[in-house]
Amino acid sequence: MRILIIEDDKRLCQLLALQLKHAGYETDCCHDGSDALFFIRQQAHDIILLDRMLPVMDGLTILKKMRTEKIMTPVILITALGQLQDKIDGLDTGADDYLVKPFAPEELLARIRCLKRRPAKWEDISTVSVGDLTLCLGESTLTGPSSSLTLSKRECSLFEIFLQNPNQTMPRTVLLSRVWGPEGEVEDGNLDNYIFFVRRRLKSVGSRLTLTTIRGVGYRLDV
């Protein structure tokens, strides 16, 4: 699970990232509203920790924009504003939870676990089936008309994206961000290598689905 921390206090941000890493989560950090929207629009994170008081653009404005754009990534607002009306405003704007500073790391982790338990659209499902393919996420296996095989972590992530968005063009930037992370150190050619692997996997299991290159944009899984 990857968590985005949006907090202008860099020391606090680093501390949160360290605590989450020790709990087994991957993290990315940003410190102002403009960068926050860029990260959010990549839709590469499972949960967002969002401070209310930020430079450039405040947390509630960010939250309102992402919900208007139908980005439904769960958000925990973390803020020193702890009055009842502050909480109501945050939750009504679209936050999934509200945590008042200062807070114990154990409470934050408990709230993250609570969000993970919610049966929500953002949560991974056990299998994804499209056309003649079935992807088992828990076992990273791909099954087609002729056989089944085990995928690598990144192959599985790419198949998950394509199978959840059939017949839709997925931009290269989105694929890179969601598979390697918004700040992942990856060369553009690495994606081309994995697209080759995906096409080879489709052939290996006897699928009639095709992965089409949309020049200058990205790729589309045609069903």
- Phi first, then psi: what are they for 116, rounded to 5°? -65, -30
Its pTM surpasses 0.85: no
Helices (H), 23-81: 33-41, 59-68
Domain boundaries, the chain: 2-117, 127-222
Peptide bond into 102 cis (omega under 30): yes
Distance CA 220, CA 168 (A): 6
Could you count the other beta carbons within 10 Å of the beta carbon of residue 147?
10
pLDDT at 148: 92
Distance CA 213, CA 196 (A): 11
The hierarchical CATH code for the domain 127-222 is 1.10.10.10
Structure tokens at 87: 């909480």
Q: Which CATH architecture has domain 2-117?
A: 3-Layer(aba) Sandwich (3.40)
H/E element, 6: strand 2-6
Averaged over successive runs of 10 residues, the pLDDT of the chain (223 residues) comes to 92 93 91 88 88 92 90 91 90 92 92 79 65 89 93 91 90 84 68 92 94 91 91
